[in-house]
Amino acid sequence: MSRIGKAPITLPDKVEISVGDNNLVTVKGPKGELSQKIDSDLTIKVEDGTLTVERPTEQQRHRAMHGLSRSLIDNMVTGVTEGYKLELELVGVGYRASNTGQLLELSLGYSHPIMFAVPAEVKVSTETEKGKAPLVILESHDKQLIGQIAAKIRAFRKPEPYKGKGVRFKGEEIRRKAGKTAAK
């Protein structure tokens, strides 16, 4: 049995969950509403403030979908109650970030600034403090969407291994390489 799949999800008081036709799970909470289609072979039971996901057989596909479906629902419940927050650091001389509403403007050493429109579901803010790398802060109730937006922003200038310059997640460790040594 999948250790993740068989673990029940405890539903907070503020969360409403409904399972529609074709196993469309909709979760409503104080931070928003999310829905996800779950594999039709799996059974989703909501009783006494807990949610369990059950699989019909021990086939490889059912075992794989069991843990995945449970994790997706758990992430939705966490998102609508607490939300998710990601911070990106811009490490490099002259790297800057600013935002006007949902439009993020990045200066990453190219000849032009990069303008990136962030979806309305993700709240974006920037922080610039003297002596520290500029920060781009993303907040949302949708874990999948916030991860995808953060990955796109990071892809504009990935951290390079020699000087460590680029856009990185806060706390991310970059594997550094030794550069060329002068010939004697």
Nearest C-alpha neighbor of 93 from the set 171, 4, 163, 18 = 163
Binning pLDDT at 50, 70 and 90, where does residue 179 land? confident
Share of the chain above pLDDT 70, in %: 97
**Domains 3-81 and 84-169 belong to one CATH topology:** yes
Confidence category of residue 183, pLDDT binned at 50, 70, 90: low
The tens digit of pLDDT for each residue in 2-33 reads: 688 889 999 999 899 999 888 899 999 999 99
The topology (CATH level 3) of 3-81 is Outer Surface Protein A; domain 3 (3.90.930)
- State pLDDT tens for residues 68-106: 999 999 999 999 999 999 999 999 999 999 999 999 999
Return the domain boundaries, the chain: 3-81, 84-169
- Say which residue the tokens 């993020």 belong to: 104
The alpha-helical segments, DSSP class H, found in 51-112 are: 60-81
What is the per-residue pLDDT across 109-133, written as a single tens digit (0 to 9) for each?
999 999 999 999 999 999 999 999 9
What's the rounded Cα separation, in Å, for the pair 124 and 99? Answer: 8
Query: pTM to 2 decimals?
Result: 0.88
Instruction: For domain 84-169, give the CATH superfamily.
Output: Ribosomal protein L6 (3.90.930.12)
